[in-house]
Amino acid sequence: MNKIKAFFTRDNFKHIFSSNGANHLYSSLICVAFGLLLGFIIMLCLSPDIAGTDFLMLITGGLVYYGSEGFGNILATLAPLLCCGVAIIFAYKTGIFNIGAAGQYTLGAFGALLFAILFKCHWTVCLLMAIIFGALWGVIPALLKTFCHVNEVISGIMLNWIGLFFVNYSMQTYAKGMVDSGDSFQTYQFWLSSSGDAYNPLGKLPNLGATSLGDCFSIAIFIAIIVAIIAFIVMEKTTFGYQLKASGYNRSATKYAGINAKKNAILTMAISGGIAGLGAGLYYLSGIERWSAVSSSILPQVPWNGIIIAFIAQMNPIGAIFASGFLSLLSIGATATSQSVFPKEIADLITSIIVYASGLTAITLRIVPWIKNKIQLKKTGGVKELPLNKEGK
C-alpha cells in the first residue's frame, strides 16, 4: 500500500509530465491547436458572420449533425486512415520515409477490388490480396535502395504515379470487367444486387448487424486498431522491432552489431506497404467510395493523410488511433458546414497546416518546457535553469 502511495506522490507525476514522451505530446497538441486556430482565422476571413457556428459544426458535425450515422462514417473513414498512418510510422522508425504509400495504397485498392469483383472472393481473401499487392509495391523501393542505392523518396514518388497509371490502365483493358463503362468507368458497387454480373455480397466487409451506424460502417475499424496495437508491440517489445529501430538510428553500427540491415529494410517496406494496402482494402471494401478508372488523374488522398497522422501522432501507433480519429472527425464535419461559404476542403487545409507545423519540432518541442521554466523562475525567483535536458533536445 505504501508503495502504491509512493508511486502516486507528486514527484512521480512531475516526472511523467516533463518526460520526453510528454514533450512530444505537448508538441503535437500545440501543432493541432495552431492548425485549428489558423483554420478558424481563415474561416473568419471568408465570412465573419457564420464562422463561429460553422467552426463548431466542423469539429463536432460528424457526431452532432449526422447523429449515429455520422459516428459510423467517422469510424469507417478512420480505419483506412489509421492503417496508412501506421504504415508510414513503421517505415519511419527504420529510417525510411515511405512517401510511396500512395502507390502501395493504389495497388492495394486494385488487389482488393480485383478479387472482390472479378473473382468473387470472400472479403478475407480480398483483404489478403490487398496486403500482398501493397507489400509487393512496397518492396520495390526497398530493393532499389539496398541494391542500387536509389533514394527511397525519389523511387517512391515515381512508383506512386506508375502505380496509379498501371491500375487505371488495367481497369480499362484486361480487367475492364471491374468498371461500369456506363457510369464514368467507376468500379461496380459489387455489394448491391443491382450491379448485375459483378454482384458479390461476400466481398463487402461485414457490419455486424449495426445498421444504425450507416452503410459504410464495418469491422474495418477493429481490424485497423488491432493492426496499430500489433505494430506498437512489434516495435517496442520484440527483438525484431529493436533491430529495426536500431538500423534507423545508425545503419553502420547495426551492421557492425551483426544485424542484417538489408534484409530488415526490405522486410520493413514489405510490412509497411502491406499495411498501406490493407488500408485501401478496408476503404474500398466497405463501400465508402468507388474507384474511378478514368477521372483519377490525381493520387488518392487517404495515404497522404496517413503522413499527416504519422506526424501528428509523433510516430506512435497508439497515438495514431487518436490522430486518425481527429482527422476523420474533421473530414466528416467539413461536409456539414455551409458548403457555399466553407467548402469541405477546409478540413484538408487545417490538417495540412498541422502537418506543416509538425515539421517545426525544433520550436514546438521547446515551447512547454520554456513556459514551465518561466513559471519555475517566478516561483523560485532566480537561478536560471537550462530550458531542457539533453534527451529532449
Which residues are at the interface with another protein (CB under 8 A)?
42, 46, 97, 99, 144, 148-151, 153-155, 157-162, 165-166, 168-169, 172-174, 176, 297-299, 304, 307-308, 311, 339-343, 345-346, 348-349, 351-353, 355-356, 358-363
Q: Which residue stretches of the chain are H helix?
A: 2-7, 10-17, 20-46, 51-64, 67-93, 101-113, 123-148, 152-172, 220-237, 239-249, 251-256, 261-285, 302-312, 317-333, 346-358, 361-380
Nearer to another protein by C-beta: 318 or 341? Answer: 341
The C-alpha cell that represents 46 in the structure block: 471568408
The C-alpha cell that represents 364 in the structure block: 514546438
Question: In 3D, which of 284, 287, 316, 311 has the Cα closest to residue 300?
Answer: 284
Closest distance to another protein from the beta carbon of 372 (Å): 22
Neighbouring C-alpha atoms within 13 Å toward the C-beta of 36: 17
Q: Which residue stretches of 120-194 are H helix?
A: 123-148, 152-172
* Secondary structure (3-state) at 245: helix
Whose cell is 483519377? That residue is: 296
Distance CA 388, CA 363 (A): 12
The C-alpha cell that represents 116 in the structure block: 472482390
Closest distance to another protein from the beta carbon of 294 (Å): 9
Closest distance to another protein from the beta carbon of 345 (Å): 4
The C-alpha cell that represents 361 in the structure block: 519540432
Closest distance to another protein from the beta carbon of 49 (Å): 14
Nearer to another protein by C-beta: 362 or 375? Answer: 362
Q: What is the CA radius of gyration of the chain?
A: 23
Distance CA 66, CA 318 (A): 27
Nearer to another protein by C-beta: 22 or 150? Answer: 150
Closest distance to another protein from the beta carbon of 98 (Å): 10
Closest distance to another protein from the beta carbon of 99 (Å): 7
Q: Residue 100 has what DSSP assignment?
A: T
Nearer to another protein by C-beta: 153 or 318? Answer: 153
Closest distance to another protein from the beta carbon of 373 (Å): 20
The C-alpha cell that represents 109 in the structure block: 485498392
Closest distance to another protein from the beta carbon of 58 (Å): 12
Whose cell is 499527416? That residue is: 308
The C-alpha cell that represents 389 in the structure block: 535536458
Distance CA 237, CA 49 (A): 52
Closest distance to another protein from the beta carbon of 338 (Å): 10
- Roughly how many angstroms between the first and final C-alpha of the chain, as a whole number? 37
Distance CA 299, CA 156 (A): 13
